[in-house]
Structure formats: C-alpha cells, structure tokens
A and B are shown apart, each in its own frame.
Chain A
Amino acid sequence: MAEATSQSNRQHWLLSLPAVVMFLGLLVVPLALTAILSFNAFDSTRGPLDEYTLSNYIEVFTDSYYYDLFARTALMSLGVTAICILVGVPETIILSRMRPAWQGAFFVIILGPLLISVVVRTLGWSILLGREGFINTTLLSIGLSDAPLQLMFSMAGVVIVLTHVMLPFMVISVWSTLQKLDPQIAYAARSLGAGPLTAFRRIVLPQLLPGILSGAIIVFTLSASAFATPALIGGRRVKVVTTAVYDEFLSSLNWPLGATVAVLLLIGIVLVVVGSNRIIERKFKQVFA
C-alpha cells in the first residue's frame, strides 16, 4: 500500500516535471534575478556593481517623480477599468439577449482586438487618433470641435486604445457569470413588485458583481503592466511605470533602478489582486456557494 502510494507520488512528480521546469525557468528565476538586481548598487560610469544596497528603493521612495509615475499609472488603469465596466456590462447583457447567430458574429467583433498583433492594432489606432487622423477630420468637418483634439501622445488616447484591448476580458468575465444566472429570478423580482430597473439594480446586478469584479481585476492588472500601447500612443509625453522601466534599462542603462521600479509595480499589482480577491470572497460567499 505504502509502496503503491510512493510510486504514484513519484509518478505525479515525473508528470508535472515539464511544467515545473518551465515555471521555474521562465518565471521564478527571472523574477528572482530581477529582485536581486534591484538591490545592486549602480555607478553611472561603471554600471551595476557587485555590492548590495537599499539606495535604489530609497531613491524611488524619496523622489516625487516616481510618486507621480505610479499615480499616473494607477489612474490610467482605474480609468480603463471604469470604462470597461460601464461599457462592457451593458454590452454583455445586450449580447446575451441576441439571437445565437448574431451572438456569434458579435463575439468575433468583441474578441477581435485579441486576435490582432499589438503593434498592428496600435499603429492602426495612431492613424485614427492623429491630428490629421480620421477622428479629428470627422469632428472638424461636422463642426463638433474647432481645433483638432490632442489624442495622440495624450492620456486620453492611451485610455481609449487600452479600453479597446481590455474590453474583451470584461465581456468574457461578465458573460460567464451571466450564463449561470437563472432567468426566472428576474421574473420573480418583477412579479413581487419591482420595476425593470429596480429588479436589475437589486437582483440581477448583485449577482453579476463577482463577474464584474474579477473582470475588473484582469483589466486593471493588464492595464497597469501594459507596455506597447502607452509606449506607442503615449510616447515620451505620457510616461507610465512600464515605459519608465524600459527607459531605465535601455536609455539610462541604470538596470538596478529599473529593476526596483519593476519590482515595486509587481508588488503593487499583487496587493491589488489579493486585496480585491479577499473582498470578493468575503462579500459574495453566498452567491458563489
């Protein structure tokens, strides 16, 4: 008996070996190296030194530039998350009421951004958003604005493009919760005297909240760690944490400082995810059961 168990244990290990190797090699080791790098001292003439220090962290925590940087990133991610909720939830509800044939077609449209290379998609958006771009020429020609809007290299542009990519994650997440919803529950609320809006607000929405919150976590973390979109649409004028890390590594060549900022971003995101998960589990224990 004991022998059989130990043998099956060995088999478990053997079978999970490829995954473990990949996990360690591609995630844990690089992360650990980055974390170690963040404690390395740096000299502008000699590069990273073999001594360990807290000076990188002290620099980040004492310089208001980094506070602005993290605040801007958080605001951008929050903005994208908020818009994704406001657009994604109604969109999913409308989608769920469509006929199956239409549902399929619109799913492809909604998931479209995920199927296109990030560079192609972002360059496409920069054509639309430019001063001479489609959006500005249209707005000017129908007289909705007097001067071209500054969409490229602006926070507004970055948020618009990020929302476009992130929306599918919100829709998928809300969709899966919506599918589990019993349609008779909304009927029950109506027959008990609730109007359509009250029934939605008091009965349907609370049951969708777990899906909305998990969608929000995905959108927030992916937005906070997005690089290509802020780099191409925001450029030098809208610097966020990821583009700052890139610059530290490749322009200033201050690897330890870049690693420090990257580690702090990771810690920030982990805190947001763990915190929100706690809230979800506590508040919606009944819904999940």
Chain B
Amino acid sequence: MTKLSIRGLSKTYAGNVQAVRKVDLEVESGEFLSLLGSSGCGKTTTLQMVAGFVSPSAGSVLVDGEDITYAAPEKRDMGIVFQSYALFPHMSVSQNVGFGLEMRKVKRPELEQRVSEALSMVRLTGLGNRYPSELSGGQRQRVAIARVLAIRPRVLLLDEPMSNLDAKLRGEMHVELRALQRRLGITTILVTHDQVEAMTMSDRIAVMANGVIAELGTPQQIYDHPTSEFAFKFLGHANVVEGEVVSADNGQTAVQVGAAIVPARTETVQIGHKTKLFVRPERLRLCSTEQGSIQGKVVTKLFLGGIWFYEIDSTVGKLRLTVTNAGTAQPQEGQAVGITWNDGDMQYVSSEAAHG
C-alpha cells in the first residue's frame, strides 16, 4: 500500500513562466485522485514531475515517506498510461506488456505468466501475438493499461488516457478501469480535462487553475458545495443571479431574489448591498407563475433525450434549467412560467479562489 505526498511542488520555466506553483497534495493509499483542469493549468506538468520526466524547481515528491523528487524515472516504480498510449510499434502485444518485467529481470516462466495475467485483467487474452498497428483504439488502450499493471507499480499515473476514445467506449472504460483500480488497490492519479471522467472515477478531485489547486474534495463536495466562484462555474453549468441583502444576523444573511428570501452565508452583511448567488440548472424547478419565486418566459426548449433543457428569460436575468423527461407535458417556448427551488440550492460562493 502506497501513500504519495506532493509538497510545495513548483515548476518555473525559462522566461519566468510558472507552470506549477507550490502544489501540496496527499494521495492516500489506494486512493483514486484526479487532477482536473483546462489545458495549461499545470496538471500535466505536475504529473510529469511525479513521474520524473520533468525536474521540479522547488518542492518534493515522497512515496511512503521516501523522497524521490530527483530520482530517475526508471527508479520510481510508477506505471504511466499515456494519452497516445505510447505502445512500442515494433513489438507484439506480449512483448509490450512484458517489457517492464524484462527490465526488472523477471525470468521467463514467471514473465509469461504475469503477461497473460495482465492481459486477462484487461480482457485481451489471446491477442498477445498481434502488433499495436493491428489493434483498435480501445484495444491499444487496454494494452497500455496491461503494460503498466504487469509491473505491479506502486503508483498508477493516468495522463488523459481516455481522450482518444469515442464517447461510448470512454464511458465503458471509466467503469472498467475504476473497478480494476479498486480491486488492485493501486494508488492512482488521473490527469484529465473531462469533468465526467474525473467525477465517475475519482475518490477525490483536485481542480487546478493557473498552476495551483483551486478546489480539492470528493466529487460531490466540489460539485454541490464548491468554495469558489471559479469552481462553481468550472464544474457543470452555473446560473448566477443577483440579489439584495435584506437582513443579517451572525454571519447568516437573508438575500432577496425575486419574491423569495434566500438564506445564505455571504461575505457582505450590510443591508441593501447587492450580492451574487449561484444555482445549478438541475436544482431549479418550473412551476405556475403564481407559485414561482421568479417569473419568466421560456426562450429555448431543447430535447436531450433523458432531459429537457430550458432557457428562461426571467426577472433576474437569463436562467438555464433542466427537467427530467418523465413523459409529462412541459411548458412550450414563449410560455410564461414560474421558477422555484429549495433553500440551500441557491448559495453564495466567494469570488476569490480558495488557494493561491
């Protein structure tokens, strides 16, 4: 069981470009942690420093307390699945999977056994003699995973491994890879820009922006109760409405939005001040105009299969919301509607980033 610690890790490139700034992370033994962020946020650089391909400007990387910050990549015992899969094109599937074992001087009978074991784990039994060029994208992906599982690495690093697969296959791989990771109990870091991928697979997600971790928590925590405006807007859709503080008492404020008084924890407690509140599209409900806290008119109605997507021109601005397609009649475009929500679903988040 392996615990990975990242302490104050920084990377500054020539020209004073700070790719990663003092990142602290503790990845628990057997945990699946995702680094989620858009391109250029420093997530890949962080992973490459953990893998040993990029040497950090400051900070340290520890595996079970052992400092490996400047150890060569081949000494780290980490398995990496790359975005391009990086299979060796001149070697057969078996040779690819066996390469790491060969480097570890594992003898022939055991090597063969572990190769077939790894191949069966990713359900590729019988394809050992094929070459990477003779495999489909999904199969190549599996070979890349088998290749790192064969060496039984202390830490598994996944660098956008699913971004070259089509959507359906990607969904299947999420479930399968997650189950495999749980079963083997390998400490894992996934780098991805795909929120769905990060949410379905991770125990915890670290949202990165501008080289720092902007938000860290379980998928549900960071989606439902993010601590920053950035995280709220980055994950899923966000509706931003403006309200006015009508009462303040001991940090608990009440904000008027339309006809509703919303309890919130805002930073400003001065009565009469304007403040922004956030709400997810799926937490808003359509109702009759009389029952609604906010009134509006349907501008757009789109059918997305499982859900209806609505855009409402309301008294507090444009709102997006989704309604589960339960087969019941729904308001049409141009129709006047009311909008309501539960207390707590509309929340205040700080406009400042949590860190950095």
Q: Which residues of A contact B (CB under 8 A)?
A: 182, 184-185, 187-195, 198, 202-203, 206-207, 284, 286-287, 289
Contact = CB atoms under 8 A, between A and B. Distances in A.
A189 B104 CA distance: 12
B88 A190 contact: no
A34 B79 CA distance: 63
B74 interface: yes
Given A193-B104, A194-B74, A286-B133, A188 B90 contact: no
Given A187-B51, A206-B90, 19 more contacts: A182-B86, A184-B82, A184-B83, A184-B86, A185-B87, A187-B80, A187-B82, A188-B87, A188-B147, A191-B52, A192-B99, A192-B103, A193-B100, A193-B103, A195-B72, A195-B74, A202-B99, A203-B88, A286-B132
A106 B155 CA distance: 42
A188 B83 CA distance: 11
11 contacts: A182-B84, A187-B73, A190-B52, A191-B51, A191-B73, A192-B147, A193-B103, A195-B72, A286-B90, A286-B132, A289-B133
A289 B131 CA distance: 10
B87 to A, nearest CB: 8
Interface string B114-155: 000000000000000001111000000000000110010000
A284 B131 CA distance: 11
A184 B53 CA distance: 10
A194 B147 CA distance: 14
Nearest to A193: B103
A191 B78 contact: yes
Contact of A191 (B74, B83, B88): B74
B76 interface: yes
A191 B104 contact: no
B331 interface: no
A235 to B, nearest CB: 45
B89 interface: yes
Nearest to A186: B86
A193 B78 CA distance: 9
Contacts of A286: 89-90, 131-133
Contacts of B73: 187, 190-191
B90 A284 contact: yes
Interface in B82-113: 82-84, 86-90, 99-100, 103-104
Interface in B294-341: none
- Which 8 A-B pairs give the minimum distances between C-beta atoms? A193-B103, A192-B100, A289-B133, A188-B86, A184-B86, A190-B73, A286-B131, A184-B82
Interface of B: 51-53, 72-74, 76, 78-80, 82-84, 86-90, 99-100, 103-104, 131-134, 147-148, 151
A188 B82 contact: yes
Contacts of A289: 89, 131, 133-134
A189 B144 CA distance: 12
Contacts of B100: 192-193
A185 B99 CA distance: 12
A191 B103 CA distance: 10
Contact of B89 (A187, A195, A198, A207): A207
B236 to A, nearest CB: 31
Nearest to B147: A192
Nearest to B153: A191
A284 B82 CA distance: 24
A146 to B, nearest CB: 47
A168 B46 CA distance: 39
B253 to A, nearest CB: 51
A289 B72 CA distance: 33
B150 to A, nearest CB: 9
A190 B86 contact: no
Contacts of B83: 184
B325 to A, nearest CB: 42
Contacts of A185: 84, 86-88
A167 B21 CA distance: 45
Contacts of B90: 206-207, 284, 286-287
Nearest to B97: A192
A193 B99 CA distance: 9
Nearest to A209: B90
A190 B148 CA distance: 12
Nearest to B81: A188
Contacts of A202: 99
A197 to B, nearest CB: 11
Contacts of B103: 192-194, 198
A184 B132 CA distance: 15
Nearest to A185: B86
A27 B82 CA distance: 51
A184 B74 contact: no
Contacts of A190: 52-53, 72-74
A189 B80 contact: no
Contacts of A287: 89-90
B350 to A, nearest CB: 39
A25 to B, nearest CB: 42
Nearest to B48: A187
Contacts of B86: 182, 184-185, 187-188
Contacts of A195: 72, 74
Contacts of A189: 88, 99
Contact of A192 (B132, B133, B151): B151
Contacts of B84: 182, 184-185
B89 A193 contact: no
